[in-house]
Amino acid sequence: MTTGLFISFEGIDGAGKSSHIDGLARAFRDHGRVVTLTREPGGTPLAEKLRALMLHDAMDPLTEALIAFAARRDHLLQVIEPALARGEVVICDRFTDATFAYQGAGRGFDLQKLAVLERMVQTGTAPEAGLLPDLLREPDMTLWFDLPAEVAAERLATARVPDRFEAQPGEFFARVARGYADRAQAAPQRFVRIEAHASRDAVWRQIMLAVAHKGWLAGMEESQP
């Protein structure tokens, strides 16, 4: 049976990651893989309701973190784990790294407490958990769109009406960007840094090189999004 793959896209608001997610999904489908596209917070009816609360209702950092992980637990159980068990490619617009970057580095919430929540929520979710009860579900690869906070702010200035995260000041996004850098440094085997300030075609080539390097889409280095 084909092994499932879990790929996450990460980066501060305005980094441009979302425009490449569909392209990567098409590349895998062109190679005969079944792809599940999803996002966080969200991905299930319950998690989408929690997403709306997070993006629009005022709350303290602990409440934000708890809502994010509650949505993630339902997302894992209802969507991500079943798709991986079927051998599908799961491509997720943000995952746990976003919580550490936004609620941790951005809001200043205790990173150790986030780590406790991470282990509580992301273990015991997989079908093989009976044999590996301590298995912590993480992406097989995280594509991190690294973009200076000031450039992201310029992009967001012309975007739609911002939600409560997109409306944050530049200092907030600078902290979030540092939070992503810290996560990447702590997990170099999983993170791939994408130079997001490059042209669209150059960004796409970086993505394809990263995936081809894993042997997942060999020969696709020059494909177009």
- Residue 71 has a pLDDT of 98
Q: For residues 146-156, give the mean pLDDT.
A: 77
Return the structure tokens found at 148: 């200076």
- Residue 122 has a pLDDT of 96
Query: Angle, nearest 10°, between helix axes 61-75 and 111-122?
Result: 20
The amino acid occupying position 80 is: I
Q: Is 11 annotated as a binding residue?
A: yes
pLDDT tens digits, residue range 42-95?
Answer: 999 999 999 999 999 999 999 999 999 999 999 999 999 999 999 999 999 999
- Residue 164 has a pLDDT of 76
Q: Quickly count: other Cβ atoms within 10 Å of residue 126's Cβ.
A: 21
- Residue 221 has a pLDDT of 52
Q: Is 17 annotated as a binding residue?
A: yes
pLDDT tens digits, residue range 116-143?
Answer: 999 999 998 886 655 566 789 999 999 9
- Residue 124 has a pLDDT of 86
Q: Is 153 annotated as a binding residue?
A: no
Contact indicator for 105, 175 with CB cutoff of 8 Å: yes
The amino acid occupying position 215 is: G
Q: Quickly count: other Cβ atoms within 10 Å of residue 133's Cβ.
A: 10
Distance of CA 7 to the CA centre of its chain: 8
Phi then psi dihedrals of residue 133, to 5 deg? -65, -20
Strand order of the sheet with strand 141-146? 35-39, 89-93, 5-11, 141-146, 191-195
Q: Is 30 annotated as a binding residue?
A: no
The amino acid occupying position 177 is: A
Long-range (24+ apart) CB contacts under 8 A made by 165-170 are 165/13, 165/55, 165/102, 166/13, 166/14, 168/106
- Residue 125 has a pLDDT of 87
Give the integer Cα–Cα distance in Å for 217 and 84.
18
pLDDT tens digits, residue range 155-207?
Answer: 666 665 667 777 777 788 899 999 999 999 999 999 999 999 899 999 999 99
pLDDT tens digits, residue range 36-49?
Answer: 999 999 999 999 99
- Residue 149 has a pLDDT of 77
- Residue 218 has a pLDDT of 67
The amino acid occupying position 123 is: T
